[in-house]
Amino acid sequence: MGASAKLQIDYPRLADIRHQPAAWWHDVLALVHYAHESEPAADALPEVPAAHVMMPVLAGHDGSVEIWRLAGPMDSGRHGRVQYRRSERLLFAALSIAEQEFAEANGDGQTHALRRATRAAYQELFGALAGLGFPHPLRIWNVVPEINGQTEDGERYWHFNGARQDAFLGVRREISGNVPAASALGSPHAGPLTVYCIASARAPITLENPRQCNAWEYPSQYGPQSPTFARGCIESDPAQTLFVSGTSSIVGFETAHAGDVRAQTRETLRNIDAVLGAANEHLGAERFALERLSYKVYVRRPEDLELIERDLRDAIGPEARALFLKADICRRDLLVEIEAVGS
């Protein structure tokens, strides 16, 4: 049951789903709640664990949620600190960890706290995936407080990357080639480190972008340990869902069009189109196209929203399904990041 069914995404208001009957939730695989720091969490919802992300919605309604639906039956539970919900085909898992839990008593260990929190989060996540029988993450989302912050020995994103790589190696996972699609975005300082994913019992088909250097081969100017993610992946199930990683205006390994948000948006869409080309080539058919994807758009400066949205809809069409969020992006000179899903 559920084989070859499409994985569907919707972005309703939290207020509109709080009082839905139990039957409405039967095919909900995942729930992600986007909100300002001051907004209440999306709790007290029937049986469905949620990832709570401190990113305000820029276009649409405050308190929006992301709903992933898939044919059931579903069951939910906890594996240590990891909340999960699963069908026979896919699993959604999420956890949040406060860095303060790992801070040194003398208060000068910001770098070590982030690294220890990241390693703990990934160790717990990988333990849950293995224990629940879904060992292959297809897509991982990372929400890192103050991702662009500077520490005494480098950027916080660099330390996150190093700890993530250490966690992969610690459980003998590959750190190049056969790695999941992913993104890492920044949230306010007050928030926790949040990691959530969609995983499968079967290894995915990983994809790279011929216009870009593989992320795990970035030169050391972008950090002593490289990021661990593929540019995209295709679910091995006959449904062949495509997950496109968070994508920005990077050509080769360098940021293109620094300071020009419109040029960065267009370059980002060219990069996504290149990943679609790689996916279609692998499948031997024109399965995926820009106008048939669902998008999440991360905007560094809210005043750029109108320009970004205009260029997105010019390229994809006025009916493009997109959620726009305010977030910091992994490099300071990147103004926009876009991810996508296609079924």
List per-block mean pLDDT (blocks of 10 residues) for the chain, which spans 343 residues: 75 85 91 76 68 87 81 93 96 96 68 93 98 98 96 91 97 96 92 96 97 97 95 95 98 97 98 98 96 96 97 93 95 98 92
Q: Report the DSSP pairing between strands 193-200 and 90-97.
A: antiparallel
How far, in whole angstroms, is CA 52 from its chain's centroid? 13
* 221-239 b/e (C-beta count within 10 Å ≥ 16 → b): ebbebbbbbbbbbbbbbeb
pLDDT at 2: 46
List, in sequence order, every residue forming a beta bridge with 210; answer none if it has no partner.
Answer: none
How would you classify the pairing of strands 294-299 and 321-326?
A: parallel
Q: Residue 53 has which token pair?
A: 């992300």
Has 337 been annotated as catalytic?
Answer: yes
Counting Cα atoms < 13 Å in the Cβ hemisphere of 290 gives: 16
Per-residue pLDDT at 1: 40
Integer Cα distance of 241 and 219 in angstroms: 31
Cα angle for residues 218, 334, 165 (degrees, 5° grid):
35
Residue 48's pLDDT is what? 85
CA dihedral 186, 175, 211, 293 (to 10 degrees): -60
Q: What are the helix (H) ranges across the chain?
A: 14-17, 110-132, 156-170, 261-283, 305-316
Residue 156 carries which DSSP code?
A: H
Give the span between the Cα atoms of 172 and 207, in whole angstroms.
21
d(CA 229, CA 155): 19
Cα 261 to its chain centre, rounded Å, is 21
Count of helices and strands (H, E) across the chain: 5, 21
- Residue 320: the pLDDT is 87
- CA–CA gap between residue 27 and residue 41 (Å, rounded): 22
The Cα–Cα gap between 165 and 147 comes to 17
d(CA 147, CA 337): 14
Predicted confidence at residue 282, as pLDDT, reads 96
Catalytic residue among 124, 146, 337, 339: 337
Distance CA 131, CA 114 (A): 25
pLDDT at position 110 is 67
Q: What is the pLDDT of residue 182?
A: 98
Q: How much is the pTM?
A: 0.95
DSSP 237: S
- DSSP character string of 101-144: GG--TTS--HHHHHHHHHHHHHHHHHHHHHHHT--EEEEEEEEE
* β 28-34/193-200 pair status: unpaired
Q: What is the predicted pLDDT for the residue at 141?
A: 98
Cβ(97)–Cβ(141) under 8 Å?
no
CA distance 294 to 319: 10
